[in-house]
Amino acid sequence: MSEEIASINNAYEFGWSNPERYSVKAPKGLSREVVEMISRTKNEPEWMLEFRLKALDIYYSKPMPTWGADLSGLDLDEIYYYIKPEGVNARSWDDVPDDVKQTFERLGIPEAERAALAGVGAQYESEMVYHNLKEEWEKLGVLFLSIEDGLKEHPEMFREYFATVIPPEDNKFAALNSAVWSGGSFVYIPKGVKVDIPLQTYFRINAESAGQFERTLIICEEGSQAHYIEGCTAPSYSRDSFHSGVIEIVVRPGARFRYSTIQNWSHNVYNLVTQRASVYKDGVMEWVDGNLGSKVTMKYPACYLLEEGARGEVLSIAMAGRGQHQDAGAKIVHFAPNTSGTIISKSISKDSGRSSYRGLVKIYEGAHGSKSNVECDALLLDDEARTDTYPYIEIQEKDASVGHEATVSKINDDQILYLQSRGLSEDEAAGLIVRGFIEPVAKELPLEYAVELNRLIELEMEGSVG
C-alpha cells in the first residue's frame, strides 16, 4: 500500500480494530459449499437454501459491470463471505461480548439508544449482535428484529415480501447478496402506527478482507409512518474489504417512510449496494443518503411509484477525497398516473477524488400527469478534483413534466477573502461554504445526525485549502 493511502487511513478516526473472535468463519472465496454452510449455520428452512443456491447460479451467469466505478481492484476470491462473531443477537446490552460492546460504545450506540431512538440494532461482521425495541412500540405491534429472527418468528409474512422488491435477477451484486446474505433488519410498522422517533441500525466490519452482506426488509402498512437510520464504519487495513447490502422497502397506501444513511466506511472498503422502495397509492418514500467513506461506492436509492399519487424523494450528498470514487445517485420510476419524484444530489470532490452523479428518471406510458425534477450540484475544492454527471431520462408518456438542472462550481476566492475579512481562517471559511452547500440535505436529518454529518465533513475538509 502506498504511503499516500496509508496516511489517508491513519487519519480515519474509526480505523481501529479488535482481535478477531468468532464462532464460525468461512474459508476465503465464494462457493456452493460456503453458501450451504451459511444456510446450515442459520438453521434455515429448505426453501431459503434453494433460494440461495439459485441466486448463486444467477450471480455466476452475470458479468461484472463495466460501467460506473472501476472494480478491477476488487478481488472477490480474497473475501471472507461469512464470519459469525461470538454472542450473536443479544436482546440485552449486558449479554453482548465485552470487546464488541466496547466497539459500539466507542461509536456512541448505547448513548444514542438511551437518548432519542425507538430501537437500536448493531451488526458486527456477518451477524446482528444486538437488537432492541422500546416497549411502547412493541405494544403497538411494531416489529424491529434481526432479519434472521424475522424469518424464524414471522415466516409467512417474511416469505410474502422477501426478494419481491429486489429479486436476485436484478443485478450481479443483488444476486451475490441473495446467495450469502446475513444480518440486517426486519421492520414491520402496522396500519396507522406512527413511530415518531427513529429506529437505527449500525454496521461495523472488523476483520481484514471481510465481506458484509446484510439484507434489510421493511414493510410499512397503510397510513403508517417511521424513520430508519443506518450508520457504518470499518477499520483501516492494507487489504480491501467488501460491503454489498440489499435494502427492500414496501410503502403501502398513505404510508410515509424515510431511510437515512450516514456512510463512513474506511478507505479500503468497496461499497456496492442495491436499495429500492415500492410505493403504493398516495404513499411517500424519502431517501436521505450521505456517502463520505469507502474506496469505491456504487449506490442509487430507488423509488418505484406503482400506484396513483405515490411520491418519491432522494436527497444525496457524496464527498470524494484522494483515492476515492463516489458513484452515487438515484432512480425514480413512474408506473402510475399523477405520481411525483424529486432528486437533489450534492457532491464535493477534493485532491484527486472523483464524484459521479448517475441517475434514472423513467415515466412509463399511461403515467399521465406525472412530475419529476432532478437537481445535481457539484463543488470542486481544487484543480485535481473531478466530477461527472450521467443523467438518464426516459419518457414514454406525453402528458408528463420532467426537469433536470446540473451545476459545477469551485470555491470562490472572493467568498474566501470576504469571510477571512470577517475573522475566519481560510479553512474555516471553506468549511462554512461547504456546510451551506450541503444544507438542503443536512436539514432533513435529526439534529444530532446533522451535527455528526457536518463534523465528518469538517474532518474530511482538513487541509483542503491553502
Note the pLDDT tens digit of each residue in 167-209.
Answer: 999 999 999 999 999 999 999 999 999 999 889 888 878 778 8
User: What beta strand segments (E) does 381-452 contain?
Assistant: 386-395, 400-410
Tell me how crowded residue 352 is: count the other CB atoms within 10 A of its CB. Answer: 16
Res 463 pLDDT > 80: no
Rounded CA-CA distance 244/212 in Å is: 6
In this structure, what DSSP letter does residue 93 have? G
Tell me, what's the pLDDT at 10? 52
Q: Are 416 and 319 in contact (CB under 8 A)?
A: no
Tell me, what's the pLDDT at 232? 77
Coil vs helix vs strand at 24 = strand
Q: Are 295 and 324 in contact (CB under 8 A)?
A: yes
Give the tens place of pLDDT for each residue, 337-382.
Answer: 999 999 999 999 999 999 999 999 999 999 999 999 999 999 998 8
Arithmetic mean of pLDDT, 285-306: 95
Rounded CA-CA distance 232/270 in Å is: 13
In this structure, what DSSP letter does residue 359 have? E
Arithmetic mean of pLDDT, 142-159: 96
Tell me, what's the pLDDT at 70? 94
In this structure, what DSSP letter does residue 20 have? P
Arithmetic mean of pLDDT, 235-251: 87
Report the range of poorest mean pLDDT among 104-113, 117-126, 186-195, 349-358: 104-113
When pLDDT is cut at 50, 70 and 90, the band that residue 145 belongs to is: very high
Quote the Cα angle for 75-389-304, to 5°: 80
Percent of the chain exceeding pLDDT 70 equals: 86
Give the tens place of pLDDT for each residue, 1-31.
Answer: 444 445 544 555 665 456 556 768 899 999 9
